[in-house]
Structure 1
């Protein structure tokens, strides 16, 4: 990793000035990182921050950032695939090019020192979200919560923070916990329990599953303690939990959203249509009108989204890229715990949702890679 402050900004010699420049740079990075995670206010604030950040990073490094040939080939694959799908379908949807920006972001940000700043910024983000979420139960719903009234549970206000969904907010909480286990000596401090409370108050089942995977990997003792209290909770609140976990509204919604995928992708397509997809990560209006659940045009399942948008080439590219990433983390870097976390996120979490057009997906991967580099550098030093 590169310390941009020392290598590129060429500050006046002297420790005080050097530290001051680093302080300013860290605060600027913190503002950008916070902005990356704000995507639930109805405006593409997160994407605007990402574009400006990349321009800023290129500027302060005096255009000295470089990408190796292998990474460049991955970028070119997704650029060509997005263009090919757009040309074949005679359409242009800018959002299908966004993963290219996200991948470029990963390749760039791993070259600077940012991970500890991000860990601190992420906690501030979660803390503010938690405060707003608690206030929602006192003063009424606000932007940091959503409702489960459509699932027969109007008294539950799941936390989503400044994110667009509880799933995305849950992923950010999970990411903080992973970074906490990897970077902090005191694993179970005040901040840890604030994040745990925030995660539980998302009431998101896939996030709960991810959490137990992480606890089983990083802290067997805490895992068994949590499992014990969970078992007690299940016994005491069995009826309420059964209604929540096996809520038919959620099961029906996912089934009918996949029905839209069947109608749009499988039911009427050609060979090249299967190969290149529809060039759009949303269903067409005529398809939406035939899907019962809420008339939602988005595709929640990650694999279905890849097929619908980029076709089988896109799904193949994702699987190959993911396995190459896992080969690097598991076999080359020997980061076994992080590899398990990454495998679950890339292949299991995306079955329940898809975060390919959010910054969270790319922040998650970049964080894992940066932690590996950070720890390797500390070992070598």
Structure 2
């Protein structure tokens, strides 16, 4: 029995924490533009140093006869946190720096396929996709006149912007998150920057593929997902939603509403196109509140239709719902979590938390 425990413990430690350091090269990312490759290589070098140090720490540990495997693994985790903490923090820093960078698709790789004052259809391979992809963008009313003017005189220019995010699992997500419109005949450098959401996943060892529309996350790496947007409105003390530790339905992290004042609002939302042929969207998440009953509350809505509301002192509660998508369904959906306060009285921590978000189309 003890021998079995030793074998299992050593195997798990080697598998989970003792991965041999990899040789860093650009071969796995050579389909990407040079600046993107350079940014990824900085992350991969930090990852190699962390994995090497993690392996050194793990190799010094042995499971004891009286230890259960779970106890041994917890001891390994503590040892790695102490012995490889600097390398881990540097890797996290590099991942955060990667997520802050915005890369632009060259103009020659972007084509306008349909042009009117309400919607643009953009076709692009981003300069590196295996085949061209199509992006549809609705023009906000406040920009329709300027866009119409640029279209009529043939001077409207379109740029796509994308960012990258990565995690400890060696997977990367490339998110095309904005369309920048400009008019070459206008003195203004930029007419509008319109949000967009299209994701592609890849790793050094896996080819780039389109990520399925939808969202599944319990914030495993403690970073704010690139697919989500957040803001605080109402008064100067408002704050956007943030990742927090210590309050989680699963894992170590959850999403917490910002610190807001009376009559304030803190919002986070997920915007996505509806895939062709989808007949239903399924939504589930865990939610918790600590607030004044009824008056300071979290409201969940989809395309401005309310589907749930929570307030008071609650533990983690599971919410699930499905919405049919008929022939008259919109082309995109916005899933909004809004924590809102009235004009008086504070209770508890005055906040809401969400976790284990799953949004999928069928």
TM-score normalized by the length of structure 1: 0.26
Q: Which has the higher contact order (CA 8 A, sep 6+)?
A: 1
* Larger proportion of strand: 2
* Larger proportion of helix: 1
